[in-house]
Amino acid sequence: MVDRRVDSLELIVSQRFLTYYNLSLNENDLCLKFINKCPEVKKLTIGVKTNDLYERINTDVWSQRVLELIRKDILLKEQIKYSSEIQISLIQSPEYSANHDFSTLLKTYFNKSRYIVKNDVIGICSEDDPLYQTKLKSLSHNEWPVIYFRVNSLEGNGCLIDSNHSNLYQTGSTHSYIPATLGSYYRTNVMQFEDNPNPCGLESYIRSLSEIVAPYLMPNNTSIGTVMIEGPIGCGKKTIVRAMCKNWNLHLYHINTNDILGDSAVLTETKIKTSLSKAAFYTPTVVLISNINILSNNELNDDSRIAKIFSQTLFEMNDKNCEYPLVVIATNSEPKMFANNELNSLFIHSLEIDCLDIEERENIIRSLIGQIATSDVNFKELAQRSAAFYLSDLKALVLNAIKYAFDLLRDDSNGVIEESDLTLAGVVLCNDHLMKALIDLQKMHFESIGSPNIPNVKWEDIGGHETIKSEILDTIQLPLECPQLISLGFKRSGVLLYGPPGTGKTLLAKAAAAQCSLNFLSVKGPELINMFVGQSEENVRNIFIKARKCAPSVIFFDELDSLAPNRGHSGDSGGVMDRVVSQLLAEMDGINKSNEVFVIGATNRVDLLDSALLRPGRFDRLLYVGIADDSQSRLKILKALTRKFHFDSDVDLERIESLCPSGLSGADLYSICSNALTKAIERNIKQLNDKTITEDEINHIEVQMSDFMSVLDKTYGK
């Protein structure tokens, strides 16, 4: 209960009903719900009788209250009296201990006059009780939990209560729904993302889980609801459950599977039974069992015994006929490993957490940044480039960006400003800070096979191949710009780049993805081959699953001939390569239903590929990426390779091109330019050692014509 008055309230009652109001700081957020009939009242002749029951703070800071509307003429005639006695009970909750003495907390709270009605739920912040806070330090509960009490009896329907006029009696403990978002109201600092009753980007999952749980909250329900939430680590499973509990005003009792896993099967069974039985003391409650998949990974290998004790304990709890509901929710980060576990059959409902789309990622990033000052942040670009990021990844993105901003500000201050002052002042997040954090996170993710990223390769980095560039863009851009073609039966073509090594096939694929702002998944054929039966096919499936999750995307298969050779000619006794080819064909046929996943392959030996890959709808567009023989193409390649170089005035690229022998690939020309730059660096180092120049005189490394001539003479005898 919050001590906040409504001094002036203009409400127009158009129907003869009592109403349930959301009193928002924004007048446009006012909404009505039917409760029950009341006598007819005239406009502006009503008053507010009851105190605040429920409080919420969203990102827009709004509060929800239950108000009883009464006629003003009746209110003026009646004298609100003090009750000489009030009896309350402590509401059982896993957030605090029922054995603690809260008399000091209650006395402090009722030093002010409070308008109380029977069956009210009173929420008091434990911050006001120093004795409880001393004990709280040794417990594992949340900081500043709200202590809830329920009013059992008092004189009259509604009375004033304070410590001077009333005797307060605490009569044991009881069970009750609670205004679970009241803790967010009492929080003095900025509300965390996890404390939000409706966190941005996860609304659809919270809504789905709420709909699953709703039937088990009905008064006539006698069964225990069981829900399995599946999703990778860090996708926000616990955050979704917490938000659902806040929306339904339920207690949350958390069980970590690591804590109940014993050294023996008997010890594990005992811990499971004890933990689940304890949850019955906190009804109405949700029991959250996190990481339940650990039970199937344990070395004891007693899945059937663990499943049996789970089932037996739930049956015993269900047989107690509790007055309030109990729902068991488990989280699982390894659905495939847990699929055959007997525990899986105990959970009637399931909810799968998928990859976030671009709009959800943008909303989450905005919410995580919150009240932090920003400057020129491109949220849409961040959301687009953070494909396949989950909630924990986006949190790391914002935290790392804050760290970079803080480090930069500290370095610029040169020790003049204390770090404590910088911490209090805060930082201003810029787009550069967030992009640097994003690039670092993507590098970490890139260690796994097929991690998505948008390449930093432009068409200017590739010399020549103008026709091939146009063909690739036509293949990718047409379905993106005209998605209706897919519904009309248009079969999108895959692109196969073939030709000798070193001609820029990989660069072309990366540049095409960057040009269209597509996520790029690069996979070399041998990376997917695994010694275990079925694992190679699963690796192929996982690549396409990742591509669909981070769509729009491009899958680039390098060295495709090693992954999809002609079936029947692979020579392996188990037929592994044949199954891999079949799996690849099936996945490529499946992406035709989507207009946001593209496949580009590259090979040096197109004759070794299975012929089924080259039929229409798969790799039916073959583009030969050959060696540039004409002078104009080779000059374009040299200009592209050296566009970031600092040349001396005597450098002539046309002459360098004329001195290069015919038949050089792009990789060969890159080697010439790279070695010339190395020569220039060595020359500058020698001059520094000889002290003919100083470090201050070197603004940048200048490549001279002699550097190119030295490389050509050493390599080709020119």
Residue 89 has what pLDDT?
92
Residue identified by tokens 């946001």 is 596
For residues 702 and 619, membership in a common domain is answered with no
pLDDT band for position 697 (cuts 50, 70, 90) = low
Residue 619 has what pLDDT?
85
For residues 61 and 94, membership in a common domain is answered with no
pLDDT band for position 210 (cuts 50, 70, 90) = very high
For residues 581 and 492, membership in a common domain is answered with yes
Residue 452 resides in a domain: no
Question: What's the domain range around 698?
Answer: 631-716
Q: Does residue 75 surpass a pLDDT of 60?
A: no
For residues 263 and 124, membership in a common domain is answered with no
Q: Which of 146-184 are b and which e, b meaning 16 or more Cβ less than 10 Å from the residue's Cβ?
A: bbbbbbbebeeebbebeeeebebebeeeebbbbbbbbbb
Residue 51 has what pLDDT?
41
Residue 150 has what pLDDT?
92
For residues 174 and 121, membership in a common domain is answered with yes
CATH label of the domain that carries residue 658: 1.10.8.60
Q: Does residue 133 surpass a pLDDT of 90?
A: no
pLDDT band for position 31 (cuts 50, 70, 90) = very low
Residue 376 has what pLDDT?
85
d(CA 21, CA 384): 39
| Mean confidence (pLDDT) of the chain | 77
Residue 368 resides in a domain: yes
For residue 142, the 8-state DSSP code is: P
Q: Does residue 408 surpass a pLDDT of 50?
A: yes
Domain stops at, among 352, 375, 394:
352
Q: Does residue 37 surpass a pLDDT of 50?
A: no
Q: What is the rounded average pLDDT of the residues 462-481?
A: 79
Alpha carbons within 13 angstroms on the beta-carbon side of residue 137 total 5
For residues 606 and 659, membership in a common domain is answered with no
Q: Does residue 630 surpass a pLDDT of 70?
A: yes
Q: Does residue 603 surpass a pLDDT of 70?
A: yes
Give 167's strand partners. 85
Domain count, the chain: 6
Residue 443 has what pLDDT?
76
pLDDT band for position 424 (cuts 50, 70, 90) = low
pLDDT exceeding 90 applies to what percent of the chain? Answer: 13
Q: Which of 75-84, 465-474, 589-598 has the lowest mean pLDDT?
A: 75-84
pLDDT band for position 191 (cuts 50, 70, 90) = low
pLDDT exceeding 70 applies to what percent of the chain? Answer: 77
Residue (of 355, 603, 597, 556) closest to 455 by Cα position: 556
Residue 7 resides in a domain: no
Domain stops at, among 564, 599, 624:
624
For residues 430 and 465, membership in a common domain is answered with no
Q: Does residue 2 surpass a pLDDT of 80?
A: no
Q: Does residue 422 surpass a pLDDT of 70?
A: no
For residues 317 and 427, membership in a common domain is answered with no
Q: What is the rounded average pLDDT of the residues 638-650?
A: 86
Residue 446 has what pLDDT?
62
For residues 387 and 488, membership in a common domain is answered with no
Residue (of 159, 156, 180) closest to 93 by Cα position: 180
Q: What is the rounded average pLDDT of the residues 493-498?
A: 85
Residue (of 334, 606, 415, 655) closest to 496 by Cα position: 606
For residues 611 and 650, membership in a common domain is answered with no
CATH label of the domain that carries residue 614: 3.40.50.300
Q: Does residue 685 surpass a pLDDT of 80?
A: yes
Residue 629 has what pLDDT?
76
Q: What is the pLDDT of residues 347-403, one digit of tens each?
A: 899 999 988 888 899 999 998 888 787 888 889 888 888 877 889 999 999 999 988
Q: Does residue 56 surpass a pLDDT of 80?
A: no
Q: Does residue 14 surpass a pLDDT of 50?
A: no
Domain stops at, among 186, 206, 229:
186
Which helix (H) or strand (E) covers residue 69, if one does?
strand 69-71
Q: Does residue 238 surpass a pLDDT of 90?
A: yes
Residue 320 has what pLDDT?
66
- For residue 347 the two structure tokens come to 């959970």
